């Protein structure tokens, strides 16, 4: 387990203090895939670098499996670092070494015998599906292949924790997905805890179980990914979620509606069970056609077998019938908001 207790981190320049992390409290369970999301400069990299002692906290405690990192001597820090692998956006491969030599490096540092090293490297090359690139140099690899080499290198010492700092930010969406799937496999098959820094909610959505959102050195929200997608508490979280699931009617459709004097526009928010039932047709059938529901736009995603999404509709009918239908749908766990004159859903 990785725990942060009231952690603060400042950098000093000309005796001037800049507070980078403020009162950070986190508990990451073993075998979790934990996402840290925030905009540039929020302090994500500094936070993740505290876990493997690349940075030291200014105050507060960081505990790995209950042991305070501050109490570790140099030897213990070295041992602990061997059990924490790290991968970066910039790959950090040695250009003058082959793929096999790059992967072998941590084993060499850990004084593993050559025969054993070769065996481990072959196994890792197999695992990351790069057998045929064993003797290639980094310059001969694509971005996705380079990141696979980095992953193999990070796994060489059989780490318990893998830190990923924007590991997919330089990759195209398809390669990103393949790398994320590989990380998921590492987590499931090798029981490695993964802590992942990103500025992309699609990455968090794809593999994380738990997450935190950072803004200006502070945690503004943390918890289960599905819960946070369903009930984002902070504006910055909502902005991140909007990048993967848009909670407003696209302007073009809205303008088209308004030009045609269609104003009875509602946003239906479907969560969990409400998605699995035919609630809309139930509402229409129940009222024997007294109302009509015209779907304008729909936007659904699935996260860990939960479907979350928005549907924008125009409802026509007598005010009382519309009110009844809305009440019926609300009882079926559909969250409903109406578009007001200012363009807000209330």
Q: Which is nearer to ligand ATP, 41 or 173 (CB)?
A: 41
Distance CA(144)–CA(176), nearest Å, equals 8
- In 3-state terms, the chain is what percent helix, strand and coil (to 5)? 40, 30, 30
Q: Which is nearer to ligand ATP, 20 or 283 (CB)?
A: 20
Binders in 13-52 for ligand ATP, by CB under 6 A: 20, 38, 40-46
CB of 235 to ligand ATP, least distance (A): 18
CB of 20 to ligand ATP, least distance (A): 4
Q: Which is nearer to ligand ATP, 11 or 246 (CB)?
A: 11
Judge whether 34 and 208 are in contact, CB under 8 Å.
Answer: yes
DSSP character at residue 250: -
CB of 38 to ligand ATP, least distance (A): 5
Residue 94's contacts (CB-CB under 8 Å, 6 or more residues apart) are 101, 102, 105, 138
Tell me whether strands 59-64 and 33-38 are parallel, antiparallel or unpaired.
unpaired
Looking at the DSSP assignment, which residues form a beta bridge with residue 315?
Answer: 293
Q: Which is nearer to ligand ATP, 42 or 154 (CB)?
A: 42
The sign of the dihedral angle between the CA atoms of 229, 231, 234, 239 is positive
Judge whether 148 and 116 are in contact, CB under 8 Å.
Answer: no
Binders in 175-204 for ligand ATP, by CB under 6 A: 199
Q: Which is nearer to ligand ATP, 98 or 234 (CB)?
A: 234
Q: Which is nearer to ligand ATP, 49 or 97 (CB)?
A: 49
CB of 44 to ligand ATP, least distance (A): 4
Distance CA(247)–CA(241), nearest Å, equals 9
CB of 196 to ligand ATP, least distance (A): 12
Q: Which is nearer to ligand ATP, 45 or 102 (CB)?
A: 45
Site for ligand ATP (CB under 6 A): which residue of 11, 92, 181, 344? 11
Q: Which residue shows structure tokens 């009222």?
A: 287
CB of 13 to ligand ATP, least distance (A): 6
CB of 123 to ligand ATP, least distance (A): 33
Distance CA(346)–CA(324), nearest Å, equals 18
DSSP character at residue 58: S
Judge whether 209 and 251 are in contact, CB under 8 Å.
Answer: no
* 3-class secondary-structure state, position 198: strand
CB of 59 to ligand ATP, least distance (A): 17
What's the token pair of residue 94? 């040695």
With contacts defined by CB under 6 A, how many residues of the chain interact with ligand ATP?
11
In order, the DSSP letters of 283-297 are HHHHTTTSSEEEEEE
Q: Shortest CA distance to 134 belongs to which of 162, 169, 98, 166?
A: 98
**Residue 64 contacts ligand ATP per CB under 6 A:** no
Q: What is the Rg, in whole angstroms, of the alpha carbon atoms belonging to the chain?
A: 25
Q: Which is nearer to ligand ATP, 41 or 250 (CB)?
A: 41
What's the token pair of residue 286? 């129940």
Q: Which is nearer to ligand ATP, 157 or 198 (CB)?
A: 198
CB of 104 to ligand ATP, least distance (A): 29
* Residues making contact with ligand ATP (CB under 6 A): 11, 20, 38, 40-46, 199
């Amino acid at each position: 387990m990785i725990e942060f207790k009231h952690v603060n981190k400042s950098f000093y320049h000309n005796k001037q203090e800049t507070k980078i992390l403020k009162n950070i409290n986190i508990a990451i369970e073993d075998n979790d895939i934990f996402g840290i999301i925030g905009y540039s400069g929020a302090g994500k990299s500094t936070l993740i670098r505290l876990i493997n002692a690349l940075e030291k906290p200014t105050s507060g405690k960081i505990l790995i499996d209950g042991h305070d990192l501050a109490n570790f001597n140099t030897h213990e820090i070295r041992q602990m670092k061997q059990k924490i692998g790290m991968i970066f956006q910039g790959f950090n491969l040695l250009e003058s070494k082959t793929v096999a030599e790059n992967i072998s490096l941590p084993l060499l540092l850990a004084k593993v015998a050559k025969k054993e090293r070769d065996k481990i490297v072959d196994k890792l090359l197999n695992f990351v599906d790069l057998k045929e690139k064993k003797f290639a140099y980094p310059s001969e690899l694509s971005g996705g292949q380079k990141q696979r080499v980095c992953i193999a290198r990070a796994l060489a010492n059989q780490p318990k924790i893998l830190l990923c700092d924007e590991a997919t930010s330089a990759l195209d969406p398809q390669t990103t997905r393949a790398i994320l799937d590989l990380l998921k496999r590492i987590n499931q098959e090798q029981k490695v805890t993964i802590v992942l820094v990103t500025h992309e909610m699609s990455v968090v959505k794809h593999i994380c179980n738990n997450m935190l959102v950072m803004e200006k050195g502070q945690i503004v929200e943390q918890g289960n990914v599905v819960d946070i997608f369903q009930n984002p508490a902070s504006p910055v979280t909502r902005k991140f979620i909007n990048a993967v699931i848009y909670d407003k009617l696209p302007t073009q459709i809205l303008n088209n509606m308004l030009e045609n004097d269609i104003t009875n526009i509602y946003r239906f928010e479907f969560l969990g069970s409400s998605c699995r039932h035919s609630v809309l047709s139930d509402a229409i059938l129940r009222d024997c056609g007294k109302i009509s529901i015209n779907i304008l736009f729909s936007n659904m995603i699935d996260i860990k077998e939960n479907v979350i999404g928005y549907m924008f509709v125009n409802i026509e009918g007598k005010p009382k019938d519309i009110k009844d239908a809305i009440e019926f749908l609300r009882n079926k766990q559909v969250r409903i908001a109406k578009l007001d004159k200012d363009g807000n859903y209330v």
